[in-house]
Amino acid sequence: MFMFDIETLGVESNSVILSFSCIYFDPSKKDVTYEELLASAFFAKLDAKDQLSRLKRTASEDTLKWWGSMGSEIKAVSFTPKDSDLKAEDAMAKFKEWTEQFPNHDKCIVWARGNLDQVVFCSLETTCGLDNILPFWRWRDVRTAVDLMTGSSNGYATVENFDPVIVHKHNPIHDCAYDVLMMLRGVPNETSI
């Protein structure tokens, strides 16, 4: 299975993707650690200016303001431009190659928090003239799964013997790893019932 997360400059299908991450995990291996998940992640930071100018992707004023309100550590991961930022096509090629190392990579379920990640990612593939790396019929919603598995009603669960304080929110690698742990070892939290 794959866990997927993106950071964007909006909530429309044609929004700029700042970064994305993916973690492959085996649902039968429940003892995987957070650190192992972080270390195994794929991560790509994309060139936002290129998407805006060449690919005519969009940015929302509200989302730009939201990013502006984030701390510098959070912004450094996805928002702040770097010389190493990848063109969308290059990021997709590296990602496709990464997925192909896993057994049944072309049949694996893809988990994401809601459907925005799927819609924006697939739209960027279309904009770039690429086939879907992760076709639409393989995507599932983490929040629904966590709620059904744990009795939660907010898409989150407690992971026993894990302190979520170490999760760097809005870092797609950390968001993926935390979602994997909730899927594998989540139990109802006090605020979920």
Q: Are 6 and 17 within 8 A, CB to CB?
A: yes
Confidence at residue 193, expressed as pLDDT on a 0 to 100 scale: 40
pLDDT in tens, 169-181: 999 999 999 999 9
Confidence at residue 189, expressed as pLDDT on a 0 to 100 scale: 73
Helix (H) or strand (E) run with residue 124 in it: helix 116-127
Confidence at residue 191, expressed as pLDDT on a 0 to 100 scale: 54
Identify the structural domains of the chain with CATH numbers, from first to last. 2-187 (3.30.420.10)
pLDDT in tens, 120-140: 999 999 999 999 999 999 999
The pair phi, psi for residue 6, each rounded to 5°, is -125, 160
pLDDT in tens, 40-98: 999 999 999 999 999 999 999 999 999 999 999 999 999 999 999 999 999 999 999 99
SS3 19: strand
SS3 182: helix
